[in-house]
Amino acid sequence: MSLAAMARTRDLKLGHFVVEFATPGIGHILKNAGCDFVLFDCEHSGFGFETVKAAMRYFEAARLPAIVRVPSKDYDQIARAADMGAEGVMLPMVNDAGEARKILGCLKYTPVGRRGVALGIAHDAYSGGPVLDKLAQANARTTLFCQIETAEGVENADAIAAVDGVDCLWVGHFDLSAALGIPGEFQHEKFLDAIERVVSACRRHGKAAGRLVPDVATGIEYWQKGFDFICYSGDVWALGAAVKAGVEGIRAGAAPRSRESPSAPAAGKGKKKKG
């Protein structure tokens, strides 16, 4: 299922955050793990567009839709991610409806937006076809994920969700908690009130709600709160936790070895019997 189709339902969609391991097998690994989508980070990872272009082919090979989070609201960041083949583009710190409309202008082709036209390249699988059909198909395919991670974004969540073309409001939980003056306090009343405002905006306008979660319990909690795009952990933390658990488990369960060398003969053995 495409991201655009996923965003039109309130069914549970589960994904994983890639911030480090843009390896050829990553798409198949995540698909076989049961993921519905992948969130590929360019804000904090250091990945450049050459890496994005290659990674999009890995995800396409696994039939795993990809959201690319770009580091800024600049035209070249948004349009290039879409050109490289990202089905979804995520923007950090979207503060109001005006910003959302400007982003859409960079993401969508005419007549919806002003994205520079380039056809027969990565985003349309290097294929040909009638120009107007291609533009319409690209506009229908690209999905916009607006991150709500400032107090202003929360205040304007309803207006952002009302913008035609915004597909999902995605809570950036750490930045939002910091913006509210309560960094890392995710059970604080101010944070929970902000979450409820975002969810209410999404429900009112029929838009998806998403966030990254660190563990299973938080994923279930946020599904119950009304979120439907749930991104479970990230490659760095999942690998680190799995390896740590295995190493610590073996270390804890390993009994001390005998001090006697296993190759040393037992006492009295190996001697010839006397005549």
Using CA atoms, how far residue 141 sits from 60, 89, 162, 170, 242, in Å, is: 14, 11, 19, 19, 35
How far apart are alpha carbons 108 and 115 in whole angstroms? Answer: 6
Q: Give me the helices (H) in the chain, please.
A: 3-7, 26-32, 49-61, 75-84, 97-107, 131-141, 151-155, 157-161, 173-179, 189-205, 216-225, 235-253
- 44 tagged catalytic: yes
Could you say which of 16, 44, 188, 205 is catalytic?
44
- How many other CB atoms are found less than 10 A from the CB of residue 193? 11
Longest dimension (CA), the chain: 108
Which residues are identified as catalytic? 44
